[in-house]
Structure 1
């Protein structure tokens, strides 16, 4: 990525977020979502808004950066020649979106072979944009701009832990998560990507999930690491491939969480 102009890359990411805002807001809390279930058993929804947003995002990238690869949740991978891949989730938290709750978001990351280098977590309804990487760590919102910085170390017994689904993943993963939850002060559920944004903002200490895809986690990794946090898998290794992920405000709370999560059965 040393050959890619930093300002051009950042401007491109913001432009992609801008077009996604237009598409997602056009349908949010309205009619005509045309909800489909992608899951074979269970419920994994996709809506017309997911697809319209990703089409708009890809069109903007094709106009500005046609040489880059793209990986998106709804339309899969598109090859590129630059070594840079844009990793997109047009609506992270479609269940929240179709329910009318403002905890979904648009995820955009610019990544190379080693993982994400710049990311945006955008919440169009509240107007909050969390930006991280390439020397930036900032929240822009209708209330102004402020730097992102994760929470300082404190005991696990005082920590706030978030995840999306109470069952977390498999039965074994659920047992490990709830063993960790029992050691914390507060556990909250159902926040999707907004939980990672709150961690970068210094509001909470941990986010733990399982069964993630790369498009779920690339943007959060970039934003959280820029804010001073750490994102790993449950064994302390790289997390950009997805799977079992723990995002932590600092090394102290990460070590405490990994001591419990690493015991999860494979």
Structure 2
């Protein structure tokens, strides 16, 4: 099973297991993301519990993270028992089909903990080895925004859309990235890591970047930042330290909205993820890699 590549590293239509379609996978992504999104919104305890920390004391794992991931596992295994699962909280499942579900049960956990209405559930299906930086590509994905009761979704070759959560019969709104082509007029979204030394490096980068763009937004959810690029409510997004579950669904949504998603050298990933329209993406990448855009 292979995928072809086109300009800027964009993945073209994948080869899927016999009897499986992109449209079917996209519908499942929507359903799973919406169900988990409703769960974390409607079942949120009035006094949120912190179950553990991940990398630092500021990087929390809530009880609801784990419960949301358990729900997603059940839904995926009921519908696609032979597929693999890769999730942020580490309860991974090996598959035999060449397809892996890459899930973030709550993206924007700190926002969720503090009741800031900017968190999401991200669900994607990828081909290849999602445990490596280079060996996978998304074929369908959905990002549920429980606070706004919306779901944003895409399939490879089907376009990117937003619709009210859970209602596939309601007409969807097609997404299109910003046409901005000048760095000085760019509204740039970004995010910061949790480790103090990482934050210090990112602060140094921001001191260089901020004078060169219109303004910067730090929302706290990589999945929603990528959706905002896709819908054109920000012009570009750049961040270091992203994992597969942070970017898989949003990456595809941006590309299907006419945007480009790249990394420092090629594919997006931990070293750097940049998303923007075609006229802007290289300017932003250059700004974050060497600080001297044309």
State TM-score, norm by structure 2. Answer: 0.81
Query: Equivalent residue for 1:202?
Result: 232
Query: Equivalent residue for 1:108?
Result: 123
Superposition map of 1:1-266 within 5 A: 1-3=15-17, 4-28=20-44, 30-39=45-54, 41-113=56-128, 114-134=136-156, 135-141=158-164, 145-165=172-192, 169=198, 171-192=200-221, 193-235=223-265, 237-239=266-268, 241-248=269-276, 250-263=277-290
Name stretches of at least 5 consecutive residues in structure 1 with no aligned partner: none
- Using a 3 Å threshold, how does the CA distance of structure 1 residues 243 and 38 change in structure 2: closer, same or farther? farther
Whole-Å separation in 1 of the counterparts to 2:139 and 2:192: 28
Whole-Å separation in 2 of the counterparts to 1:234 and 1:61: 33
TM-fit CA distance, 1:173: 4.3
Name stretches of at least 5 consecutive residues in structure 2 with no aligned partner: 1-14, 129-135
TM-fit CA distance, 1:245: 1.2
State TM-score, norm by structure 1. Answer: 0.89
Whole-Å separation in 1 of the counterparts to 2:197 and 2:238: 8
What's the RMSD between the two structures over aligned residues? 2.2
Whole-Å separation in 1 of the counterparts to 2:231 and 2:272: 22
Whole-Å separation in 1 of the counterparts to 2:236 and 2:199: 20
Whole-Å separation in 2 of the counterparts to 1:10 and 1:157: 36
TM-fit CA distance, 1:118: 1.3
Q: Secondary structure at the match of 1:151?
A: coil
Native 8 Å contact 2:118 2:147 kept in 1 = no
Q: Secondary structure at the match of 1:89?
A: strand
- Using a 3 Å threshold, how does the CA distance of structure 1 residues 128 and 254 change in structure 2: closer, same or farther? same
